[in-house]
Amino acid sequence: MEKQHQEWINGKRMGLHIELHTIHSWSFNSSLEVENQVKKNKVGLGAGLGVGFGVLSCGLGLLWFIYWRKRGDGENEGLGDDVFTDDEFEKGTGPRRFTCRELTHATNNFDEGGKLGEGGFGGVYKGFLSESSTEIAVKRVSKGSKQGRKEYISEVKIISRLRHRNLVQLIGWCHAQGEFLLVYEYMPNGSLDTHLFGGKIMLTWPVRDKIALGLASALLYLHEEWEQCVVHRDIKSSNIMLDANFNAKLGDFGLARLVDHELGSQTTVLAGTMGYLAPECVTTGRASKESDVYSFGVVCLEIACGRKPVDPREEQSKVRLVEWVWNLYGKGQILEAVDKGLSMEFDEQQMERLMVVGLWCCHPDPIIRPSIKQVINVLNSEALLPELPSKFPVPMYSLPPVNMSIFSDISLGHTGSTKDRTQCSCSSCSTYLSNTSEGSAKALLNWGVDQAYNHA
């Protein structure tokens, strides 16, 4: 066309003839390229649908997984950094996991008529497992209690690994549907305090002696014989259970802590029950094997005297059990503190051993206190009784500046309270703790007694 067009121009200019070419039609075939494009579109559409379907499937799968975890494993809700896995507890032949339905049925829907007791963070109910014909005690943590949940975790992690004849056996646990439940072997004779102070069966001297030795054996296992040192931190008569034969079994490991033997035995958070707390625990906020021994000594005196650690109803000289017995010891009249309910039906030498050992364990200076192994040797007449000061010794050190954070877990066991480990929030207690920066341990003990008066 370009050639003909040029010829037309030249012809016009030069006056020559003109050739006219007419194009009647113009056709071309591009079917190959269109077919390729259609194929590409089909492939792209298929790939897009495949990716979209895959993403949708993954999303639905994730939603289903989340729903399933919330439905089946909602028991971990609210545990924060302390979340644990069931695999930790399902190893070996130890305690097993129960369902909520099983324990609800076993306790008759947690019938109040079957309630065995009430603690600071929940109640304990009697139950019956029909498939094994076993009586059980189920501890139900109060809903919404963060401290109760922490103690639940601590108890399951620690006591599920311990095996000793003088420790309450943990049978199983359940954490589901907002419930936190611990299942123990049932103790038909209840706790020691109900017999010493609650008007139940009067314990004879042989039974009391057996209970003291059983508790000492449990502590020896915890402090020295197990793979790690277990500091119980809340040894008291209400945590000592009695089986059908009145064998002592130490329970309630909610405040217990594990410490490596070679790293020492101190914990750094103050916890326990006032009256059983060693002086150094209150002043430094640190618990140890020695503070457990102090609490054991208080229990020994309770067993011998049938009295609580602090009793505001008594005359001033008898309010504090340890000081009262120590004063009688200094006068050579220690047996005058023996429980009158025994009617002098006891072995005097054995009784004296128990009481002197109790005082030895309650020495204000933790360095002077015996180890639990020494305690057992003396109680078994395999070692001589120690010579103690004739007057109650007062530690000659001052309180360090008070760090209020260490009192977050303190348990003030006010006389008459059914909740053993509830923090006191009254104005007088708060005022003392906020204003005290230094002073003697004696003054702090006096303050504890004053609060017992106020809350009795």
CA atoms lying within 13 Å on the CB side of residue 112: 0
- Cβ-based neighbour number of residue 277 at 10 Å: 28
Q: What's the 3-state SS for the chain?
A: CHHHHHHHHHHHHHCCCCCCCCCCCCCCCCHHHHHHHHHHHHHHHHHHHHHHHHHHHHHHHHHHHHHHHHHHCHHHCCCHHHCCCHHHCCCCCCCEECCHHHHHHHCCCCCHHHEEEEECCEEEEEEEECCCCEEEEEEEECCCCHHHHHHHHHHHHHHCCCCCCCECCEEEEEEECCEEEEEEECCCCCEHHHHHCCCCCCCCHHHHHHHHHHHHHHHHHHHHHCCCEEECCCCCHHHEEECCCCCEEECCCCCCEEECHHHCCCECCCCEECCCCCHHHHHHCCECHHHHHHHHHHHHHHHHHCCCCECCCCCHHHCEHHHHHHHHHHCCCHHHHCCHHHCCCCCHHHHHHHHHHHHHHCCCCCCCCCCHHHHHHHHCCCCCCCCCCCCCCCCCCCCCCCCHHHHCCEECCCCCCCCCCCCCCCHHHHHHHHHCCCCCHHHHHHHHHHHHHHHC
- Residue with token string 């309650």: 362
First-to-last CA distance in the chain? 121
Q: How far apart are CA 121 and CA 55, in angstroms?
A: 46
Is residue 157 annotated as involved in ligand binding?
no
Which residue in 178, 107, 177, 125 sits closest to 148, CA to CA? Answer: 178
Please identify which of the residues 193, 234, 252, 311 carries the catalytic annotation.
234
Backbone region of residue 48 per phi and psi (left: phi > 0; alpha: psi in -120 to 50; beta: other values): alpha
Q: Judge whether 234 counts as a catalytic residue.
A: yes
Q: Which residues does the annotation place in the binding site? A: 139
Residue ranges of the binding site for ATP: 139
The residues annotated with a catalytic role in the active site are: 234
